[in-house]
Homo-oligomer: A and B are copies of this chain.
């Protein structure tokens, strides 16, 4: 195998890095993973700040392009790979709406409650605030999934990957997601896609990551 065309900077504890890794895994794309020691302040170092002025992971490098912010990376990869990005302009816009809402209410709720619980020792009132924000978002997703299998359209898209990323880490945020039955079924569908892996399988050091399987949608004719 040659050098993979994508390079992903991240850390195995980051659900936002996982979102990009998940897309690459489901698309059957190999990538180079660069471990960034976020707990040792590596994102604040000069070389990393030059790469990403936001001082955050994930960062994707592809050819001469450097892309930051998980939802922008997901959109870039979907467009580059030609999958999971929506069938037309209308679906693309719905996906952008879902990613914007999800990052604010759903991911931010789980991720901040988890970060405050596991890593940063936030005031309990702050953790409770974010848990309630996440639970309100779960209610909305549960209603949305009443008559559909995926958040947008009739097949998995980056809207699902973006929203689902932190669900696998919800227990670490002190959240019990079992009452949301349709949401659980949606996550189950996602985790059955060929190539899927749990965030606990993220590499823990620099690595070349090879895909284990390729998900091909039923309507793909390039199988």
Contacts and interface: CB of A to CB of B under 8 A. Distances in A.
A143 B46 CA distance: 13
B75 A96 contact: yes
Contacts of A53: 140, 143-144
Contacts of A68: 97, 101
A76 to B, nearest CB: 7
B72 A100 contact: yes
A104 interface: yes
Interface residues on A, range: 20 to 34
A101 B59 CA distance: 13
Nearest to A116: B129
A61 interface: no
A67 B97 contact: yes
Interface of A: 53-56, 65, 67-72, 75-76, 90, 93, 96-97, 100-101, 103-104, 108, 122-123, 125-126, 129, 140, 143-144
Name the 6 nearest CB pairs between A and B, nearest first. A69-B100, A123-B125, A125-B125, A69-B97, A126-B129, A72-B96
